[in-house]
């Protein structure tokens, strides 16, 4: 009797959410009522009760910011055929890729427009699947525009091999999971082996790790590195290591709060920049990238697994990476950087296909192993990472044959994302810009913090500086 | 009943020929202008994906902009960078214009030079700014050249010093627009009756005297036009500093212009605040144009 009640309840809530989805512009009052997070069992019960309607869509619209996911689909999703740069085919469904670069927020602006219009456009124009990054995931997760995975009939045991943090990012306030990722982007310190040998006398990851195990040791080592004529890294590189280990979110009660660990980043970095140990190059700028070649004389970068392949220019014969000259260790604190989550858009007319793509690309261990081997992604599967850590399959040439998967897997377990907020992207960008002024001596710390707060309140008018 | 007049009326053609302008003006000028002012009285923005407003809040947006004290800073930034670019630009243009129109110099290949000085204006401002950004970056060619020549011992951070950033912006604006100004001034100079120059030469006036006593006074209408259009263009300065400083207006927003500030409000689609800011800009532009016009046209009475 009781079980029947539960399933009835589950069906009832399901149908209301489904109607909310179909109606699009319907009143959101019922969404605000259910504030208390549901337990996993309740959500699973809902998910098990879901019967997806037959797919009617002939077009699958995917929104993304680069061709990374497209190439993953092409290489690993069974039955996907590429037609041209922005079109593909799965069976008789046409796949349309809408790629908008992230620069200047263009991707989100475009996606926002598309999602807000979702209810008014024809079925073939509706967004079915879209990709988000961690920095702004919450912006989409906490809204009705994103379909909960349980509404697609995906249960928690299907996702149990994923790392906890990859799920906590995309869990909404009612406890429902709204997205899934194939990557676990725990990150660490990627050091120049040549420089490590010269200064520390060893390039063994364990011993280098010992030299940078916490911030005090890191600062000490950095000084030695600088004395040998190297730049440690850019202050912007270390930012995420600090900002992932904060004790509270950026915005609390509508006000900006600067966490003690962020404050520590500001003070530590200022000292290092003043001593000419670190520089202040913006990430991705040419000046920042100079350390990828030996003449750049940069000791380390901070980055996750995608950094190896995507950012170290291994194809360039003059680069350090092409000679296997990098090493990887966890660094002063565990953190993560980046990663891509797949989200189903409310109103999709290809729910079964969307569900299958999400399950295949983010939970199928065979596919994930392929991705890890072929693309050197650190995949979101505890089993696959443990597998790679224990075999030579996980050795990476540009790290001089080092197998970083044990560290990556350990790091992914430690990442804690409970302090993420939907303001993170803006706060990160503006803090880095404002503090650069302080580091370079163009402003005092107070002035720089004021400038940061001003910039954030401009971006988010609902946030107050004080 | 047929009271058709024998007189053919052409009035309607006047209205018909005017109508395209009226329609385009209404759609692209009048309606945006009115809605901008209308929007400025509302609180209306996006927070993430949820819309806040529109709630009528009266003059609150205007008060916020006035009280946070940013407007004067960004206004003076804009004017400083405009003046730094405009003064050399007008001097250069007058000089080149005078040379090109002076028949006694008999300059060869005039067409070629006129094309060359106009060329920088054909490059997109953003591409031009991108080029300068790369040239003057910390490990860019300018720095490495200066270091190899022994002028500098370590890279000069062009993008982190107030006056180097402002100078770069001014230089770019000057380079981009002096060709355009030269051509305008030349047109004005060629419109001056040549007999005046001949008469002055017969009377024994030197080239300098001719320039100051004849060319400049008669060039005044064109000069006013150049001043006002350049001023309005200067107030709307955006793409060059935006790209050069990556939208930050750094160091410490000392190169942030009014329109860059306006652009900051568009991140959250804050139509209320940006509307109010636009109205302020409209008023400032109006007042400045009026001042320039009065100041330069006063003596004609």
Q: pLDDT digits over B12-27, tens only?
A: 888 899 999 999 999 9
Is residue A405 situated within a structural domain? yes
State chain A's mean pLDDT as an integer.
Answer: 85
CATH code, domain carrying B152? 1.10.3720.10
Q: Among B54, B138, B272, pick the best mutation site for testing chain A contact (most A Cβ within 10 A).
A: B138
Q: Cβ of B195: how many Cβ atoms within 10 Å?
A: 8
Measured CA to CA in angstroms, residue A394 lies from A17, A84, A367, A376 at distances of 43, 33, 16, 9
Q: In this complex, do B251 and A442 lie within 8 Å of one another by their Cβ atoms?
A: yes
Alpha-carbon gap: B208 to the closest alpha carbon of chain A (Å): 46
Separation CA B245–CA A433 (nearest Å): 10
pLDDT for residue A464: 86
A416-433: b (≥16 Cβ within 10 Å) or e? ebebbebbbbbbbbbbbb
pLDDT at residue number B4: 60
Question: Following DSSP, what letter does each residue of chain B receive, concatenated?
Answer: -----SSPP-HHHHHHHHHHHHHHHIIIIIHHHHHHHHHTTEEEEEETTEEEEEEE-TTHHHHHHHHT-HHHHHHHHHHHHHHHHHHHHHHHHHHHHHHHH-GGG--SSHHHHHHHHHGGGGS-HHHHHHHHHHHTSTTSHHHHHHHHTTS-SS---GGGSHHHHHHHHHHHHHHHHHHHHHHHHHHHHHTS-HHHHHHHHHTT--HHHHIIIIIHHHTHHHHHHHHHHHHHHHHT--HHHHHHTTTS--STTTT--HHHHHHHHHTTT-HHHHHHHHHHHHHHHHHHHHHHHHHHHGGG-
Q: How far out from the chain centre does Cα A117 lie? A: 26
Interface contact A433-B248, CB threshold 8 A: yes
Chain B positions touching A442 (Cβ under 8 A) are 160-162, 250-252
Whether A408 and A454 share a structural domain: yes
Chain A residues contacting B, CB < 8 Å?
104-105, 112, 115-116, 138-140, 142-143, 145, 281-282, 285-287, 290, 422, 426, 433, 436-437, 440, 442-443, 447-448, 451, 454-455, 458-462
pLDDT for residue A1 is more than 70: no
Contact B137 A286 (CB under 8 A): yes
Contact residues on chain B for A454, CB-CB shorter than 8 A: 68, 70
CA distance B139 to chain A (A): 6
- Condensed to tens digits (0 to 9), the pLDDT of residues A341-369 reads 999 999 888 888 999 999 999 998 889 98
Same domain as A193, residue A163: no
DSSP line for A214-259 = SHHHHHHHHHHHHHTT-B--BHHHHHHHHHTT-SS-SEETTEE---
Beta bridge partners of A183: A379
**Which residues are paired to A88 by β-bridges?**
A82, A95
Confidence of residue B3 (pLDDT cuts 50, 70, 90): low
Q: Which residues contact A280 (CB under 8 A, 6 or more apart)?
A: A234, A235, A236, A273, A436, A439, A440
Question: pLDDT > 90: what percent of chain B?
Answer: 43
* Closest CA–CA distance from residue B20 to any residue of chain A (Å): 32
Q: What's the pLDDT tens digit per position in A50-64?
A: 777 877 888 999 999
* Domain tally, chain B: 1
Partners of residue A89 on adjacent β-strands: A81, A94
Q: Residue A138's pLDDT is what?
A: 87
The pLDDT tens digits for B203-238 are 988 888 988 888 888 998 888 889 888 998 999 999
Give the model's pLDDT for residue B168: 94
- B267 vs A138, A442, A459: nearest CB: A459
Question: Can you tell me the mean pLDDT for B41-63?
Answer: 85
Average pLDDT over chain B reads 88
Residue B107 domain flag? yes
When pLDDT is averaged across residues A158-178 and rounded to a whole number, the result is 87
Number of domains in chain A: 2
- Per-residue pLDDT tens for B82-115? 999 999 999 999 999 988 887 777 888 888 988 8
- How far is it, in rounded angstroms, from Cα A444 to Cα A163? 41
The ipTM is 0.81
β-strand partners of B50 = B47
Quick check: B55 contacting A, CB < 8 Å? no
Q: Quick one: average pLDDT of A70-89? A: 88
B246 near A CB under 8 A: yes
Determine the longest span between alpha carbons in chain B, in angstroms: 98
Per-residue tokens: A327 = 């090493």
Contact at CB, B250 and A140, closer than 8 angstroms: no
Q: Which residue of A has its CA nearest to B44?
A: A461
The answer to whether B134 contacts A145, with C-beta atoms less than 8 Å apart, is: no
In a domain, A395, yes or no: no
Do residue A322 and residue A408 come from a single domain?
Answer: yes
Residue A307 shares a structural domain with residue A177: no
Last-in-domain residue among A351, A385, A419: A385
Q: Is residue B69 part of a domain?
A: yes
CATH number, position A417: 3.40.190.10
Determine what percent of chain B is predicted with pLDDT higher than 70. 96
Of the candidates B169, B165, B140, B167, the residue with the CA atom closest to the CA atom of residue B152: B140
Is A21's pLDDT higher than 60? Answer: no
Look at strands A59-64 and A127-133 and give their pairing.
Answer: parallel
- Minimal C-alpha gap between A11 and chain B (Å): 28
In this predicted structure, the answer to whether residue A316 has a pLDDT above a threshold of 90 is no
Q: So what's the pLDDT on residue B299?
A: 57
Integer Cα distance of B223 and B181 in angstroms: 9
pLDDT at B177: 92
Residues of the domain holding B101: 62-300
| Subunit contact B48:A442, Cβ cutoff 8 A | no
Residue A97's DSSP bridge partners are A62
Q: Are A89 and A144 contained in the same domain? A: yes
Domain range for A238 is: 186-335+401-459
Structure confidence at residue B298 (pLDDT): 61
Tens of pLDDT, residues A170-189: 888 888 899 999 988 888 99
Compare all CA atoms of chain B with the CA of A145 and give the residue at the minimum distance. B49
Q: What are A130's strand-pairing partners?
A: A63, A343
Tell whether B51 is covered by a domain: no
pLDDT the model gives residue B274? 92
* Whether the Cβ atoms of residue A163 and residue A184 lie closer than 8 Å to each other: yes
Question: Is residue A392 assigned to a domain?
Answer: no
Collapse the DSSP code of A401 into the 3-class scheme (helix H, G, I; strand E, B; otherwise coil) and give the result: coil
pLDDT tens-digit map of B139-182: 889 998 999 988 888 888 888 889 999 999 999 999 999 999 99
């Amino acid at each position: 009797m009781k079980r029947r009640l539960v399933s009835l309840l589950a069906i009832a809530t399901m149908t209301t959410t489904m109607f909310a989805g179909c109606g699009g512009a319907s009143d959101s009052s019922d969404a605000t009522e259910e504030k208390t997070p549901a337990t996993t069992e309740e959500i699973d019960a809902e998910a098990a009760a879901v019967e997806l309607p037959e797919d009617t869509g002939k077009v699958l619209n995917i929104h993304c910011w680069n061709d990374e996911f497209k190439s993953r689909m092409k290489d690993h999703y069974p039955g996907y055929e590429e037609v041209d740069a922005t079109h593909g085919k799965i069976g008789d469904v046409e796949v349309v890729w809408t790629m908008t670069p992230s620069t200047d927020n263009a991707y989100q602006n475009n996606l926002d427009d598309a999602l807000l219009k979702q209810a008014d456009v024809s079925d073939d124009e509706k967004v079915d699947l879209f990709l988000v990054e961690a920095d702004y995931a919450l912006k989409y997760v906490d809204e009705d525009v994103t379909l909960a995975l349980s509404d697609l009939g995906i249960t928690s045991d299907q996702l149990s091999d994923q790392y906890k943090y990859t799920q906590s990012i995309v869990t909404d306030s009612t406890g429902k999971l709204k997205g899934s990722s194939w990557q676990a982007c725990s990150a660490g310190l990627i050091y120049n082996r040549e420089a490590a040998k010269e200064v520390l006398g060893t390039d063994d990851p364990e011993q280098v790790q010992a030299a940078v195990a916490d911030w005090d040791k890191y600062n000490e080592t950095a000084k030695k590195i600088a004395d040998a004529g190297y730049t440690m890294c850019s202050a912007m590189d270390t930012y995420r290591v600090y900002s992932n280990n904060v004790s509270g979110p950026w915005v609390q009660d509508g006000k900006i709060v600067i966490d003690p660990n962020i404050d520590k980043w500001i003070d530590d970095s200022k000292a290092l920049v003043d001593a000419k140990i670190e520089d202040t190059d913006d990430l991705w700028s040419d000046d920042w990238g100079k350390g990828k070649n030996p003449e750049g004389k940069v000791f380390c970068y901070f980055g996750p697994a995608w950094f190896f392949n995507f950012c170290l220019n291994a194809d360039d014969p003059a680069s350090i990476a092409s000679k296997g000259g990098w090493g990887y260790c966890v660094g002063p604190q565990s953190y993560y950087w980046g990663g891509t989550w797949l989200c189903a858009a409310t109103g999709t007319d290809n729910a079964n296909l969307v569900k299958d793509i999400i399950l295949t690309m983010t939970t199928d261990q065979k596919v994930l192993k392929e991705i890890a081997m072929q693309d050197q992604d650190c995949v979101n599967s505890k089993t696959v990472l443990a597998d790679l850590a224990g075999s030579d399959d996980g050795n990476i040439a540009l790290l001089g044959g080092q197998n970083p998967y044990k560290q990556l897997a350990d790091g992914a377990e430690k990442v804690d994302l409970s302090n993420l907020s939907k303001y993170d992207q803006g706060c990160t960008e503006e803090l880095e810009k404002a503090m650069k002024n302080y580091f370079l001596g163009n402003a005092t710390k107070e002035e720089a913090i004021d400038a940061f707060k001003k910039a954030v309140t401009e971006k988010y008018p609902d946030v107050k500086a004080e | 009943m047929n009271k058709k007049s024998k007189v053919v009326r052409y009035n309607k053609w006047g209205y018909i020929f005017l109508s395209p302008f009226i329609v385009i003006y209404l759609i692209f000028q009048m309606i945006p202008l009115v809605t901008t002012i209308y929007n400025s009285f509302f609180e209306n923005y996006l927070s993430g994906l949820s819309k806040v407003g529109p709630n009528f809040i009266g003059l609150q947006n205007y008060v916020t902009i006035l009280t946070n004290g940013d407007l004067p800073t960004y206004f003076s930034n804009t004017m400083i960078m405009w003046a730094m670019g405009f003064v050399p630009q007008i001097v250069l243009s007058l000089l080149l214009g005078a040379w090109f129109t002076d028949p006694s110099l008999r300059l060869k290949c005039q067409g070629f030079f006129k094309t060359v000085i106009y060329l920088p204006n054909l490059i997109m401002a953003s591409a031009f700014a991108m080029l300068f950004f790369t040239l003057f970056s910390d490990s860019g060619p300018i720095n490495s050249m200066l270091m190899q020549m022994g002028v500098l011992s370590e890279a000069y951070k062009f993008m982190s010093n107030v006056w180097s950033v402002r100078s770069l912006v001014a230089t770019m604006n000057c380079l981009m627009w002096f060709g355009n100004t030269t051509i305008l001034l030349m047109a004005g100079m060629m419109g001056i009756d040549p007999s005046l120059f001949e008469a002055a030469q017969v009377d024994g006036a030197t080239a300098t005297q001719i320039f100051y006593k004849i060319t400049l006074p008669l060039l005044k209408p064109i000069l006013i036009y150049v001043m006002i259009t350049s001023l309005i263009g200067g107030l709307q300065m955006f793409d060059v500093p935006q790209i050069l400083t990556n939208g930050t207006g750094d160091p410490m927003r000392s190169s942030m212009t009014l329109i860059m500030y306006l652009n900051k409000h568009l991140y959250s689609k804050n139509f209320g605040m940006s509307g109010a800011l636009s109205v302020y800009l409209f008023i400032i532009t109006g007042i400045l144009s009026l001042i320039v016009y009065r100041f330069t046209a006063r003596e004609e009475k």
